[in-house]
Amino acid sequence: MQTHRLFIITLLCSMFLIQPNLIAEDEEEPVYGWKSQVVGGLNLTQAQFDNWIQGGENTLAWQININSAFELNQERFNWTTTSKGSYGQAKIGDLQSRKSADELRIETVYLHKLGVYVHPYVSALLQTQFTRGYRYEEDERFPVSNLFDPGYITLSAGVGYEPVPILKTRLGAATKTTITREFAVGLTDDPATDRIEKVDTEFGALSVTELRTPLAENILLTSKLDLFSNLESLKQVDVRWDTIISAKVARYVDVSLNIELLYDSNISPKRQLKQLLALGLSYTFI
């Protein structure tokens, strides 16, 4: 818990420090209408060894990423739908191919403008994965997850605040529903009952903060922090912090660093951390 608390405090302090300078900048005239973007990327890693004295394992790894954003901005409202999909596998030596990435995330947010910085909103978020996941122990593997097993649906309504174009946050009441099929134990099942519950709904509060800003002409920083609490205890705060620093080094070549921190006591008593440094092909479809 201490690690992700420090992580959150660092982000909030960074936002506080940069905000005065941002507000001082001249506000741009709003642009109304549709804005759409779909970006696909492919990362490949390959290594082959033959009579290599220093040793090493043959390696082949690949990952596909598809991100999209569709925004309708009007004078009285803003409706934004975003999605993030990634899937990858890695094969090392004689071992079978194993998943290295598997995520599907779709979110839609409708915000009604009141002519001030604070606006009411409603939102819906879906999170799951594409294929079956396994836990590996020596030469055996054990299934632990699958498509919509678990799946998460979060509905929220509250107020949003956007002091500057690159920074926005929202806070509201929320319901978080966890759906399972085979893997209910430890996620949705209540051990105090005789039957196995495959759906669990929590009521609480949701906070979402997003930062999107260029660090240089060809370097972009995007960071999104989601906090959900069922209000039973401050120790029951679910954390998801996804930060990406991407640099375009050529027309179709990108370098990216992705750090993702997760904490959900229903899944694991310890925080989860994933880091990915990738060089790959990137193509903007829209």
Pair of tokens at residue 277: 């440094």
Residue 27 lies in a domain: no
What pLDDT does residue 27 have? Answer: 53
Comparing CA positions, the residue from 37, 40, 36 lying closest to residue 283 is: 40
Pair of tokens at residue 18: 């940069």
Comparing CA positions, the residue from 237, 229, 244 lying closest to residue 276 is: 244
CA distance 95 to 116: 58
Residue 267 lies in a domain: yes
Residue 28 lies in a domain: no
Comparing CA positions, the residue from 109, 93, 89, 81 lying closest to residue 44 is: 89
Q: Are the CB atoms for 271 and 3 separated by under 8 Å?
A: yes
Amino acid at 246: S
Mean pLDDT by 10 residues, the chain (286 residues): 48 46 53 92 89 87 94 94 95 90 96 88 97 90 94 96 89 96 90 91 94 92 94 80 92 91 85 88 84
CA terminus-to-terminus distance, the chain: 40
What pLDDT does residue 53 have? Answer: 86
What pLDDT does residue 17 have? Answer: 43
What pLDDT does residue 234 have? Answer: 63
* Residue 245: φ, ψ to 5°: -115, 115
Residue 29 lies in a domain: no
What pLDDT does residue 7 have? Answer: 47
Pair of tokens at residue 234: 């401050």
pTM as predicted: 0.84
Q: What is the 3-state secondary structure (H, E, C) of the chain?
A: CHHHHHHHHHHHHHHHHHHHHHHHCCCCCCCCEEEEEEEEEEEEEEECCCCCCCCCCCEEEEEEEEEEEEEEECCCEEEEEEEEEEEEEEEECCCCCEEEEEEEEEEEEEEECCCCCEEEEEEEEEEECCCCEEEEECCEEEEEEECCECEEEEEEEEEEEEEECCEEEEEEEEEEEEECCCCCCCCCCCCCCCCCCCEEEEEEEEEEEEEEEEEECCEEEEEEEEEEECCCCHHHEEEEEEEEEEEEEECCEEEEEEEEEEECCCCCCCCEEEEEEEEEEEEECC
CATH number for the domain spanning 214: value is 2.40.230
- Chain centroid, CA 167 distance in Å: 17
Residue 157 lies in a domain: yes
Domain assignment of residue 122, given as a range? 2-22+34-284
CA distance 122 to 84: 20
Residue 101 lies in a domain: yes
What pLDDT does residue 235 have? Answer: 65
Q: How many domains does the chain have?
A: 1
Residue 134 lies in a domain: yes
Residue with the two structure tokens 């009579």: 51
Buried b (16+ CB within 10 A) or exposed e, 19-55: eeeeeeeeeeeeeeeeeeeebebebeeeeeeeeeeee
Residue 230 lies in a domain: yes
The number of beta carbons lying within 10 Å of the beta carbon of residue 232 is 10
